[in-house]
Amino acid sequence: MDLYHAACAVQGTSRKERVVFCEALIWRAHVADKYVKRVHKLHPEWGDGSLRSAATLHQVGPPIQIGPSDFLECFSIVLNALLENRLIRSHPN
């Protein structure tokens, strides 16, 4: 469900802002996750550290019905950003 909600949030942004918005969304979820693990409370702005929690701040309702290809493009943006984020974190400096 996290991917679905993130894709819905990404779909609510303009096409040229989607990748940057998605990267920020993943960063917020990561920061919130670290916060929850450290203080054992929800992050005051970004929730429980899940992508869904961070995305819920930006998503209101079901996906915008522009067309299935638009939603799939947003889903792809989320998957690619997660993969890129994982590769960056796993790469030794």
Q: Residue ranges of the domains in the chain? A: 2-90
Residue 66 in this model has a pLDDT that exceeds 70 = no
Q: Are 18 and 70 in contact (CB under 8 A)?
A: no
The answer to whether the beta carbons of residues 53 and 29 sit under 8 Å apart is yes
User: Of 91 and 78, which is predicted with more confidence?
Assistant: 78
- Res 51 pLDDT > 60: yes
Q: Band of the pLDDT at 57, cuts 50, 70, 90?
A: confident
Task: List, in order, residues 6 or more apart from 63 with CB less than 8 Å away.
Answer: 7, 8, 11, 71, 74
pLDDT of residue 61: 56
DSSP string, 34-78: HHHHHHSS-BTTTBTS-HHHHHHTT--SSPPTT-HHHHHHHHHHH
Question: Rounded to whole angstroms, how far apart are CA atoms 87 and 68?
Answer: 28
Q: What is the mean pLDDT of residues 61-68?
A: 65
> What local confidence, expressed as pLDDT, does residue 64 receive?
64
